[in-house]
Amino acid sequence: MRTTLDLPENLLEEAMKTTHIQTKTKVIITALEELIRKSKISGLKQFKGKVDLDIDLDIVRGRKCRY
């Protein structure tokens, strides 16, 4: 989708240098994806300590108990 944006040039250039992304379009797409990812992670944090999974990590990871 084509959209006209008025973005601060210095902010866009800094984002391109920081991420080593060479196109403005790709750096904006990356920023939007990262924003969405962080929002989803933030939403998952509300479940911290509230979900009880009966999982033995040693078995899942294929480790053998030494005891």
Identify the pLDDT of residue 53.
Answer: 77
For residue 55, give both structure tokens: 């999982």
Identify the pLDDT of residue 31.
Answer: 97
**pTM (2 decimals)?**
0.68
> How many beta carbons lie within 10 A of that of residue 31, not counting itself?
14
Structural domain boundaries of the chain? 9-60
Please tell me the distance from the alpha carbon of residue 31 to that of residue 57, in angstroms, as a whole number: 34
pLDDT along the chain (67 residues), means of 10: 94 97 96 96 86 78 71
Identify the pLDDT of residue 49.
Answer: 80
Identify the pLDDT of residue 66.
Answer: 65
